[in-house]
Each structure stands twice: as structure tokens, then as C-alpha cells.
Structure 1
Amino acid sequence: MAAAEGENKVVEEAVKGGELLFCGTTSWEAMGRRRTTPEENLASPTRLRPLMGGGYSICCLWLRVQKGQLGHGDYIQRDRPTIVSQLSKHNIVRAGAGRSHSVVVTEDGLSFAFGWNKHGQLGSGSTKNESEILPVRCQVTEVKSAVCGGEFTVWLTSVEGSSIMTAGLPQYGQLGHGSNNEYNTKDSSVRLAYEAQPRPRAIASLSGETIVKAACGTNHTVAVTKDGHVYTWGFGGYGRLGHREQKDEWAPRIVDVFTRHNILPPNAIVSAGSANSACTAGRIYHLLAAAFTIVFWSSLKFVCCGFVVSRKKFEKNTIFAGGGQLYMWGKIKNSGDDWMYPKPLMDLSGWNLRCMDSGNMHHFVGADSSCISWGHAQSGELGYGPNGQKSSAIPKKVDILEGMHVISVACGFALSLVVVDRTKDAARIEELKCMMVKLQKNMDVGRAQPEGGADLLRRREAGVAGGARAASETASAGGRGSGRRGRPKKS
């Protein structure tokens, strides 16, 4: 209940007023294919003119399209946010995006998906059509949220005994059903394949748990129960599952670091990158009634530097210390040892982390009145500006957003999105308009395409599917981050 209230608070903040900012590459057709040029990148957080002043829960998608993942009914690339007309009658409250598919959740608990469906990742119950260019209904009900891995989808529902359901590619066990559904397609030789799972199924081993949060990497899943325990499963490379080994897990396995006195608080954040995972947790303490005086304010319950837990599972006088320490595990940097189990990221100790997301090898965090990013990047997705460093091995403030209230963040391949509160930071947001000139030039309907891009667009308009280079499972190799030493300092 408390976790749901926390999620609802984020939604309420977004409804009150959020401004979407973008940083990263604007050359969609080049993503994952060639290195972009500085002229094709937005290295500073920039307002998106097509979404300025929007106050409705509509679904807008744009970017490169190869498998129909934009849901517009065609294979034409969109260079500006475009409303998905088939969903215009629905109030969209949640959304997730995989490698080539998208999933949305409506206010009344329905879920729709579109894009690549070869492995059943749309959850429609069928793989008859490898691509769905218009939204199709997912076979799930009472949906609260949905998150996507590379080629699979996870739904969280309010159905008792089925709070988490999965569908799609089972290759590394990332669906959590105890099997990778591997079979040999040839009698005379070895040619392995993995049976598609198009019908969403509840994870049997978690039927007795209520899952309140989930995050997906390319081929692994992280889930949090209402009691604050963490389960992971799927591909185990680089220690991204947090079990002190690199073995794949075909069924949910509890992460032993987050048990006993180190469980996740109701307002914990959870994130998963392509080869790493992260969450916030805090030690709990049982108070003696005579030692403290606890003051209650309606829904806000504070004591010292912690907050009172209102979940039934915990005792009345249980508190969490601090706002939660950020833990990470897996491949954290391009250089150095992998973190085989969750370790605290001390650079962010003492910060009140409100939201976080991870991309291929970069991370964004909204904390206090700052926005913080770090990781390996090549297209300006860290938001440090055209004269700033490209990568940072340690967390570093996004200076242009300093003092702003960040509502939510999202990371993709070579891009990042940040939603800031326009009701609190209207004057500061207005200052970002001067950076719209460059974006507007790149996002004009008839903008010049890079070499070969115009021909590719014409082929798509003619309905000819273009070939795509599959994204690599492991994180791409790159140079060492050049971030300055020391944790980001609070203002």
C-alpha cells in the first residue's frame, strides 16, 4: 500500500506540471550503427517544443522505427513526438520500451503493446504477426505498471497470486518460469532456439508474494516485494544478479544482501541497466518507546532523519535510517572489477534519491534539488553541455539543472530524458528555450538526412523493412571515464 502511494505521488506530481527535457543524439538512424558527430547531439538538457504545455495523459512516440515500435501503423521514422492515435481515447499512466517493442498501461488497468513480436514479447497470446504496427491488447488485467527488457515484458498487476507476469524471449531464464525453453531445430546438427512465450504467465515461485516494483535489463529482471525483499533472475554475467556468481538464474532468487536489517523502504527506487542493477535500501531499527517522541503529520511521518514505516508487516515503532543508501552491482564501469554483489555507492551517501534510471552504460538520478549523471557516453547523454566532459566515472551534477526539482528520469541507448517540475522552476525552464534552435533544425519534418538516410526513409515509406544490426548483450567497450574525483557536493 505504501509503495503504491509513493508511485501515485509521482504521478500526481507529473499531472500538476512536468516539463520534458532531452539530451543525447538526435540522429536516430545512426544509433548503434556509427559514431555520431557533435552537430547531431544535444549535450545539454533541452526542452521539446512539441510537448510544451501539454497537460493530458496521452501517448507520444518518436525516434527510429524498424519493427513498428512507435505504434503509428507504418514504418516511417518520426523526428518529433507524435500522438499514437489508436490510444488517444485512453488515459495512459505507465509505459515501457524494449529493444524494438513498446508497452503502455491505461488508467483502467489495461495494457497495449506494439512493435517486434517474434518472441511473444507483446503478450498478445500469439506470434502470428512478427511485427504489430498498431497497438494490440495484452492478455493481462488489473495492470499497475509494465517494464520491458530487450525482448521480453514484465507486468505488475493487482491480481492476488499473480502480481507479476512475464512474456517474451526465455533464453536466459529472464521470464522466471524455471526454464529457458531451449530446443534443437536440427536433427543432424546442433542449432539451438528458444520457444517463444506469447501468453503472459504468473511466476509460480512468487505467487505468495506481492511484487510492488520491478526493473529490467537487456536479459535480466529485478523485483521488489511489499516486504522490502529483492529478487533477481535471468542472465548472470558480470554479477548483475547480485548473487556473488555469474550463473544464470531461471527462477527468482532472493538477494541475500537485502534481508534482515537491510530491506528496501516503501519509497525505494529500483533500476536495471544492460549489465548492472541498482536500488536504494536502509537499515531498520526498532525504537524503545521511552527513548523517542514521534510526531505524526497526517500522511507525513518523520522521526529524526528517518521515516516511520506504515506497512502492516513491520512493528509500529520501526524506522529506516536515512533516506536510503544507493546500492549497485554488476558491470559498473568499463574498467575495473565487476561488483558481484550489491555494494553501497558512497559517492551518493546522504543524498535523498527520488528517481533513477540506467541506460546501456550510463545512469541518471534525481536527488534533492539536483540532477546527477555518470557513466560511459559518446553522444552527450549525460547532459554536461557541449564543452563538458563526455563521460564520468563517478556521479557528477548536471550543472544546468542545478536547483531544479526533478520528477522522473529515463535512459535509453545514447539518450536521456528528464522531467522537471514546471510549477517550481518555471523561470529556470524558460532559460532553456534558447537551446531549442538547434533541436528544431534537426527535428523539422523535411530535415536533411545523413548520407544514405534519405534513401532509407524512402524505403520505409514504401513499406520495405530495413535491416537492423542487433544490439550487443554485453556493454560496449569504451574509454575510461574522465570524471573529476570526489562525490557531488550538496548545495
Structure 2
Amino acid sequence: MSKALHRVLVTFGTAADGRLGLGFPLASQLIPRIVPTLAGYSVKQVSCGGAHTAVVTDDGTLFTFGINEWGQLGHSNRDKFVAAPIEVGLPDPVKAVAAGGHHTLALTTAGEVWSWGMAGEGQLGLGQPQEMRQVEPRLIKTLQGAGVVALAAGDHHSLALTSCGQVFSWGRGEHGALGHGTVHGYVGVELTPKRIRALPDPVTHGSQPRITSITAGPFNSGAVDSSGAAYVWGHGNGYQLGTGRAEHELQPRRLSTLPGGVRSLSLGQNHSLAVVGDGCLVAFGTDDSGSLGAGAASLQQRAARQPIRVAGLPLARAAAAGWRHSLALSEDGRIFAWGWSGAAGMGVYADYGGGQLGLGDDEDRWVPEQLMRIHTSKHRFYDLRMSYLKPWRALQVAAGRNHSAAVVETELDVRDLVDG
């Protein structure tokens, strides 16, 4: 038989520029759909950029697809976009990937960090750019031997976390996204990785907690340490940093507003999500199209200056904040979505449809709703409400500007990938 338990990639939302990886014709997906060309791989991680997607498999193969105007795919140099996954050639297997607004970072098993895509503002960490568009992966030499274990990428900046808990940032420092403060009142560009000195550093102060995770929004950044304390910096004039102030933070600021310690932190354009120690999900920032999940009556067109609990959710494992939409992953593998579900012509090549909530339409949601169905092909699906269909559970969720993705485990019958 052709049945087996698989970890597959599902994508949903606008198909503009090929960012869903489903090939032609480019057609928005209102319900998550399995990317069939990756069904033979065991998918480990997915990262959604501004209009492109990057996927890592268990064997360390890296695939990318979507828009390629700045070379952010790392292949297909002459193509403006690619509608189906193509492998990125790197010298060693990939452990993790981070897709930014217009660039991509990859961490290999050799501990090396490679970057490609838009290069004009230092976000590739390669020093003075020779060209604005870097179409082939290049090694960030200054991070060799640093022990990098995690990466994060915003629209024009990048972050790296080392095994000893140090955080490096580089790229455009606008709004304080790099966390280095000012020099003579000026927030500039860092062309190579620079350590963020305002964060806890157990290397120089052994008693301090160690940073264990990093995250990046389009123009801001965050980190969580081993004690569960969260730090945020960068763009904050929509209260999206959770500090209670509608102000940018030029250096990391420890959040005192998150109860019980932080397990997961995700930063969007104007809102943010955090899973706190008891598994509850909280949101803060501007409530664009329901992105805070607080209901239309209470917070429509308003902002949460302090973190508020997102009601109606089970205990959460992680969350993903997109431009104006939100995803939550429960402890038992269910996906919930809310916020904006449309598109505003944010693409260059065809298809401006929405559907990034995966709920079957392009209507906004002001409270969380559970995703019940994944499509295996155009007309076939697995639905959690139907006991005779194969069940599925999600292991990871990712949110881009107006598309979403998830790593899903299911007993896949490969015959269901083809309509017939």
C-alpha cells in the first residue's frame, strides 16, 4: 500500500508570485493545501518571507519558491519568480532557515551562516555590497566559529543567536531594529554582524540568564532568555512591543507586562503574540482587521497597550504573527487563525486573492477559529470533523505578509495528491 505517516508542507493564502509553491496556474488557496512536489520529503521547518517561502527537510535539503526579484530564492537567477520548490545548493546540509522581506538566511550543520537576496542595506552581513542583488548564497565569514544556533530575519535586518546566548544583528537600523542604540544621535546601518551589548551576556556575566530564542518582525526584534524574560526593540509606534508606549525602542527593553514567563514570541507588522508559561496566548499592538483576536465589539480599530489574553483558545505551543493576521498552534497540534484574510494587490505576478487564515473564505475574523481541513489536491481533502478521513496535526506554523504555511503530520495516501 502507498499509505505512510508523513510530515508534509501545507500552504494557503494568496498565490501571487508563486509563494505557495503549488505551481501553475497561480491560484489562491482558501484552505491549506499540501505542496505535492515535497510530499516525498519529511519536512522539518518552514519560514514565510514577504512574498517567498523557504523549507528545510529532515535530510537538510533547502527548498525555496516565490518572488525572486532580489535573488531571495538563491537559485533561478534570471527568473522573477518561481512557482514550485527548487533546491538551494549549499556545501552542507541545512539546519534552519529564515526568510526575510527580501532576503534569506540559512544555518548549516557545519555551523556556517549563508545569506542571499537584497543586499543594499547590509541585511546579508557581507560587508560593503558590490551589488544590490545577491543571487547566489554567500558565507557570512564574520560568524564562522561563533556557534550560531538560530536565525531570524525582518524586512531589512537580520539576527543570529549563538550557543552561549549572545545575539548579533545587522542590516538597516531604522526604528532601532538592530538594538544598538544611537551613535551621535544617529541610527545607522550595520554591514556585518554586531553583538547586541544591551542584552544579557553570560559570557561576560556568568550569573545572567542566557538568551534562548530570537524573533524578528518587519522592523523590530525580540528575544527570550532562559528565565522566560522577553526583550523587545525596534518599531513600536502601534504599541506592538508590549511596553505600554507607542514608541520605538532603540535598545532592548525587558518586558514586565508578560505574566508567568514567555515560552514563545512572534512579532508582526503592528501586533505581536506571546505564549506565556501556562500555555495561554496573549496579544498586544494595533487591532488591524481583528489581528488581536479580541472580538469586533471590544477592540475594533483600537490598540492593546498591554498584553491581553486571546480568549477561546486551548493551551498553545507557539504562534505566528503575520502582517495583519495571526496563527496559533495548540499543544495537541490544532491550528487557529484570526485577523485579516484578504489581499491588497500585494504581488507582482498574477493572483491577488486572499485566504491566509485557511478558513475557506477571504473574510476577516475577529476571534480565533480552528482550521479543520487540508486539501491534498484540488478536490480531495482530509477533514478533522470526519472520522472516516485521515486525521492530521500541525507541528509548526508560519505567517508571511499575506500567505501562511504549516508543517503537518498525517497518514498520507499519495494517491490523494492527484484528482482522478
Residues 181, 360 of structure 1: alpha-carbon distance in 2 compared, 3 angstrom cutoff: farther
User: Hey, which of these two has a bigger chunk of helix by percent?
Assistant: 1
* Superposed displacement of residue 443, structure 1: 5.3
Quick one: which of 158, 179, 187 aligns to 2:109? 158
Q: Secondary structure, in 3 states, of the residue corresponding to 1:342? A: strand
Partner of 2:126: 177
CA distance in 2, matches of 1:395, 1:55: 38
Task: Answer yes or no: is the 8 Å Cα contact 2:161–2:213 preserved in 1.
Answer: no
Cα distance change on mapping 1:137 and 1:380 into 2, 3 Å: same
Counterpart amino acid of residue 142 in structure 2: S
**Given the two structures, how large is their TM-score scaled by the length of structure 1?**
0.62
Q: Aligned residue for 2:285?
A: 375
| 3-state SS of paired residue (1:238) | helix
**Structure 1 residues 329 and 444: CA distance shift in structure 2, 3 A:** closer
1:325 equivalent in structure 2: 229
What displacement does 1:444 show? 4.9
Deviation digits for residues 126-184 of structure 1, max 9, x if unmatched?
41111111111011231111111101011111114x2x1111111210000012335xx
Q: 2:311 aligns with which of 396, 399, 410?
A: 399
Name 2:387's counterpart in structure 1: none
Q: What per-residue deviation string (whole Å, max 9, x for no partner) do you get for residues 456-491 of structure 1?
A: xxxxxxxxxxxxxxx8xxxxxxxxxxxxxxxxxxxx
Shift of the alpha carbon at 1:55? 6.9
Kept after mapping to 2: 8 A contact 1:362/1:377: yes
Q: Does 2:185 correspond to 1:216?
A: no
Q: Which amino acid aligns with 1:356?
A: L
Q: Is the CA contact 1:144–1:157 (under 8 Å) kept in the aligned structure 2?
A: yes
Match of 1:352 in 2: 261
1:271 counterpart = 2:215: yes
SS of 2:73's equivalent? Answer: coil
* 1:394 to partner: Cα distance: 1.3
Counterpart code for 2:117: G
Write out the 4+ residue segments of structure 1 that deviate beyond 4 Å after TM superposition. 441-445
TM (norm. structure 2) is 0.72
Are the equivalent residues in 2 in contact too, given 1:229–1:263 (CA < 8 A)?
Answer: no
- 1:352–1:442 distance in 2 versus 1, CA, 3 Å: closer
The CA deviation at 1:413 is 1.5
Q: Tell me the residue number matched to 2:13.
A: 63
Q: Determine helix, strand or coil for the equivalent of 1:387.
A: helix
Matches within 5 A, 1:26-41: none
- Counterpart in the other structure of 2:382: none
1:387 deviates by 2.9
Q: Tell whether 2:195 aligns with 1:254.
A: yes
- Mapped to 2, the partners of 1:374 and 1:444 lie a distance apart of 26
Report the alpha carbon displacement of residue 352 of structure 1 after superposing the two structures with TM: 2.5
1:343 Cα deviation (Å)?
A: 1.2
1-side partners of 2:84 and 2:177: how far apart? Answer: 34
In structure 2, stretches of 5+ residues that fail to align are 239-244, 338-354, 364-400, 402-420
351 and 89 in structure 1: CA distance in 2 versus 1, 3 angstrom threshold: same
Paired residues of 2:315 and 2:330 also in contact (CA < 8 A): yes
Evaluate the alpha carbon distance shift between residue 201 and residue 264 of structure 1 in structure 2; reply closer, same or farther with a 3 A threshold: farther
Q: Deviations over 1:327-369 (max 9, x none)?
A: 1111223374321111111112x52311111111211111123
CA contact (8 A) 1:383 1:398 kept: yes
**Equivalent-residue separation in structure 1 for 2:179 and 2:274 (angstroms):** 21
Deviation string for 1:31-87 (max 9, x for gaps)? xxxxxxxxxxxxxxxxxxxxxxx9741111111121111111121111111111111
User: Which residue number in structure 2 is paired with residue 144 of structure 1?
Assistant: 95
Q: CA deviation at 1:422?
A: 2.5
Residue 83 of structure 1 corresponds to 34
The letter for the 2-side match of 1:358 is L
Equivalent-residue separation in structure 2 for 1:263 and 1:123 (angstroms): 38
Give the superposition deviation at 1:381. Answer: 1.4
Q: 1:356 to 1:392 in 2, by over 3 A?
A: same
- Separation in structure 1 between the aligned mates of residue 157 and residue 331 of structure 2, nearest angstrom: 32
Matched, 1:281 2:218: no
Matched, 1:387 2:297: yes
After superposing the two structures, state which structure 1 stretch, 414-423 or 171-180, moved more.
414-423
Tell me what 1:233 maps to: 170
Paired residues, number: 324
Structure 1 or 2: larger strand share?
Answer: 2
Tell me, yes or no, if structure 1 residue 366 matches structure 2 residue 316.
Answer: no
Sequence identity percentage:
28
How far off its partner does 1:242 sit?
A: 0.8
Residues 265 and 324 in structure 1, CA contact (< 8 A), matched pair in contact too: no
In the alignment, is the contact (CA less than 8 A) between 2:156 and 2:171 conserved in 1?
yes
Deviation at 1:208, TM superposition (A): 1.8
Q: Is the contact between residue 117 and residue 129 of structure 1 (CA under 8 Å) also seen in structure 2? A: yes
Per-residue Cα deviation, 1:372-399 (whole angstroms, up to 9, x for no partner)? 1111131111111233314312111112
Equivalent residue letter for 1:405: L
Amino acid at match of 2:189: D
CA contact (8 A) 1:263 1:281 kept: no
Question: Once superposed, what is the RMSD of the aligned Cα atoms?
Answer: 2.7
Q: Which of these two proteins has the greater Rg computed from alpha carbons?
A: 1
| Counterpart AA for 1:412 | G
Amino acid at match of 1:255: I
Contact 1:228–1:263, Cα closer than 8 Å, also in 2: no
Distance (whole Å) between structure 1 residues aligned to residue 197 and residue 126 of structure 2: 21
Q: Answer whether contact 2:32 2:358 (CA < 8 A) is retained.
A: no
Q: Secondary structure at the match of 2:175?
A: helix
Aligned residue number for residue 80 of structure 2 = 130
Aligned partner (choices 251, 274, 277) of residue 341 of structure 1 = 251
